[in-house]
Amino acid sequence: MVDKERLDIIRECDAIFIGKLKEHGWYDKVWQAYAGLIPVKTVGVKGDERSYEWATNLRAVISEDAMTAEWVDLPAQLLRETSQKILNEVKGINRVLYDISTKPPASIEWE
């Protein structure tokens, strides 16, 4: 289901991810990058309470023709900073995943 709340959440996640790629000099090195919303609630802890919020997936690939794609081996520091910023600033997210699937068998986008 697509609604304003979910769109706002994923726009925030995507802006943070793209911003970190630019900050670390990786934006022009990847062919395609985005943050997606995984429509599954995950359990986490925020403050002293359990939280049931969404997960976001980060995806960055390189490709010559879009028929095949390799995931980008981003530096751990970039991923760490991105994850921390999303978890600390985006209400509704309590888990950040980095997609390391190749195409094929995976596609670049999630549906």
List pLDDT tens digits, range 9-44: 999 999 999 999 999 999 999 999 999 999 899 999
CA distance 111 to 109: 7
Residues 81-97: tens digit of each pLDDT = 999 999 999 999 999 99
In the chain, what percentage of residues exceed pLDDT 90? 91
Query: Between 4-23 and 76-89, two packed helices, what is the crossing angle to 10 degrees?
Result: 150
Q: How far is CA 87 from each of CA 4, 25, 32, 84, 109, rounded to the nearest angstrom?
A: 20, 22, 23, 5, 22
DSSP run (H or E) holding 33: strand 32-46
pLDDT score of 91: 95
Domains and CATH numbers, the chain: 4-98 (3.30.300.10)
> DSSP string spanning 58-92?
EEEEE-SSSSSBEE----HHHHHHHHHHHHHH-TT
